[in-house]
Amino acid sequence: MSNKNWDLTYFFKSQEDFDKALENFKKYKDEFITYKGKLNDEEKLKKFLRLEKKSNVDLARLYFYAEMASDLDKTNVKNSSNLAKVELAVNDLSSSTSFESPELLSLGKEYLEN
């Protein structure tokens, strides 16, 4: 049986690059909070949705890197720690965007379709 591994450098060239990206991802939390109570403004809503899309792309890179590295070697503590850090950052971000659904629902379907 051959020993094949994923090339994780597609996502990040080094642990240091991953750490920097994770720190940058954590900054989204403060950015999202600035939109609370403002999604009824069309321009703010557009900016919020663009920011959300960008954060999702960044999250995917972080998560795939951490999850795949963890899957490669379950005994590697650093890999497990990376995955836990990403999951914690996601939970923090999720709490900072909890206003999104109620605000969008209050706008109504007609507003959002236009």
Superfamily holding 14-113: Oligopeptidase f, N-terminal domain (1.20.140.70)
Q: Name residue 65's amino acid.
A: Y
Q: pLDDT tens per residue, the chain (114 residues)?
A: 456 778 899 999 999 999 999 999 999 999 999 999 999 999 999 999 999 999 999 999 999 999 999 998 889 999 999 999 999 999 999 999 999 999 999 999 888 887
What pLDDT score does 2 carry?
52
Q: Report how far residue 25's alpha carbon sits from residue 54's, in angstroms, rounded to the nearest whole number.
A: 10
- The DSSP output letter for 14 is S
Q: Which of 38, 34, 32, 84 is nearest to 62 (CA)?
A: 84
Average pLDDT across the chain, whole number? 94
E strands, 8-104, in order: none
Specify the pTM. Answer: 0.87
**Percent of the chain residues topping a pLDDT of 70:** 96
